[in-house]
């Protein structure tokens, strides 16, 4: 039992190290349109891009899927999401790497890289 508690404490401390103070956590969804993004680029579902409400275009963020630990770096090139409780919309390619295509959304944390 002591080993299990010690292992849990070590794992918890590692999460603190992985999740910087500037991290933002919430829900993510994915999208794939055939239009221009808010930055003027054409949406490319196979690119590692994302929409965020306030981060500057060109900002790169690491997105970590809290359900499975998978992560990916995306570049902000659009505005959104405009659904309450969601903090980022990622491209279909990013969602595929994060492992949440079928569910459509997941719990994530993001941090600038």
Asked if pLDDT for residue 108 goes beyond 90, the answer is yes
For the entire predicted model, the pTM comes to: 0.79
**Hey, is 18 helix, strand or coil?**
helix
Query: Mean pLDDT, to the nearest integer, of 14-21?
Result: 48
Asked if pLDDT for residue 70 goes beyond 70, the answer is yes
Q: 72 CB contacts (<8 Å, ≥6 apart)?
A: 48, 62, 63, 90, 94, 97, 98
């Amino acid at each position: 039992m002591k080993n299990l508690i010690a292992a849990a404490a070590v794992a918890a401390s590692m999460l603190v190290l992985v999740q910087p103070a500037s991290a933002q956590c919430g829900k993510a969804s994915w999208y794939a349109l055939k239009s221009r993004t808010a930055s003027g680029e054409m949406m490319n579902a196979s690119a590692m891009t994302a929409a965020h409400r306030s981060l500057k275009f060109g900002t790169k963020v690491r997105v970590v899927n809290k359900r499975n630990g998978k992560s990916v770096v995306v570049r902000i090139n659009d505005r959104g999401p405009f659904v309450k409780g969601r903090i980022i919309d990622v491209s279909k390619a990013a969602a595929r790497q994060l492992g949440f295509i079928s569910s459509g959304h997941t719990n994530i944390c993001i941090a600038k890289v």
